[in-house]
Copies of this chain bind each other. A is one copy, B any other.
């Protein structure tokens, strides 16, 4: 693991999610660019001190030099955005598979470069757009794919949070601090951190690609350098329309990512805070509530369910589902087998599309909220 030391948030999430199903074990890490801090974090995690490193460079070298049986199978990158590219490239080139938190890189150019590295090395690269790991998100995608929804006309996706409604970054809160810093977060704040999850979720479920968008980003907290709110009109290729909005200043909202997909035959609604349910609406028959864990759900949702219906799975389980699917690729790669086709986890291509989305919303907003086209991947 790169990053994720004391005081981090997403590092701990990755550790639980990756290990949840007994399929992976944390054995090494460079948890901080401060070597002492890295060692302390390694000790917290009961790691062998010899495999706790002071930098990712050192770690990549040392681990690559190990005999295959002891060597890492994959590395997880959970640093702030500006420190994704370096370790990702280093580990891929050192022969390791990589799991990386989103957004994939600092900017679009880096994402494209990283894509080239992934392609060249042939290693597995996994981007943890974790929300698509939810079983009922997979069910939603299946209901689009199997024609239940009909042709999609409208997509409304929202991601309101409230935790940055005040200038929390000035209190020294680590999470707030880097997320509001353009030098570490990139060109976008809110839209990079969570808007990109919303975009990914909509694309995952509907398969639609954005043709043009018109984005009005705002910074409501005085002195903040990046957007903390953004409203986006979307025109998808093929004629569907959309609204995407995300915010970190919605006081009292926690992590209320939600999506509604409206088709010619049926509509879908899913809320991340109640992830075990998917509402399906029809014109001429009763509304349906599909619930995780039941016999009637489709294959994709069924495959990624640990416990019976009514025993709620949550954020960590969905995150773990991304890992479960990724492990199928990683195991194949490690064992020298061909990576199975049709695996269902976000890849470098999703990363590039996400960065193109971020670049486009920032560009649109800087033009005064004009319509722009996201750059081709």
A contacts, CB < 8 Å to B = 9, 12-13, 15-16, 19-22, 26, 45-46, 153-154, 156, 158, 160-163, 165-166, 214, 216, 218, 220, 229, 231, 233, 235, 241-243, 245, 247, 249-256, 260, 262-267, 272-276, 280-291, 293-296, 306-317, 368-371
Contacts and interface: CB of A to CB of B under 8 A. Distances in A.
A371 B371 contact: no
8 contacts: A9-B307, A13-B307, A16-B306, A154-B250, A162-B262, A162-B267, A251-B282, A275-B312
B252 A282 contact: yes
B285 A255 contact: no
A254 B293 contact: yes
Contact of A314 (B249, B295, B317): B317
A370 B311 CA distance: 34
A15 B22 CA distance: 8
B306 A281 contact: no
A309 B256 CA distance: 10
B275 A252 contact: no
The 10 closest A-B pairs by CB, nearest first: A252-B281, A254-B310, A255-B310, A312-B314, A314-B314, A286-B288, A311-B315, A287-B289, A254-B309, A286-B290
A353 B288 CA distance: 37
Contacts of A220: 153-154
A312 B309 contact: no
A244 B209 CA distance: 23
Give the secondary structure class of A's interface. Answer: loop
Contacts of A265: 251
Contacts of A255: 308-311
B233 A252 contact: no
A142 to B, nearest CB: 13
B216 A241 contact: yes
A147 B265 CA distance: 28
B316 A307 contact: yes
A290 B254 CA distance: 12
A280 B287 CA distance: 10
A92 to B, nearest CB: 27
Contacts of A262: 160, 162, 247, 249-251, 253
A294 B19 CA distance: 26
Given A231-B242, A272-B310, A273-B310, 4 more contacts: A162-B283, A250-B267, A274-B274, A286-B294
Given A45-B22, A162-B281, A162-B283, A233 B214 contact: yes
B266 A252 contact: yes
A276 B281 CA distance: 16
A289 B291 contact: no
A252 B310 contact: no
B216 A235 contact: yes
A245 B283 CA distance: 20
Contacts of A295: 284
Contact of A310 (B19, B26, B161): B161
A137 to B, nearest CB: 14
A164 to B, nearest CB: 10
A267 B301 CA distance: 25
Contact of A291 (B263, B283, B286, B293): B286
A297 to B, nearest CB: 9
Contacts of A296: 284-286
A252 B314 contact: no
A98 B267 CA distance: 40
Contact of A231 (B241, B256, B306): B241
Contacts of A214: 214, 216, 233, 369
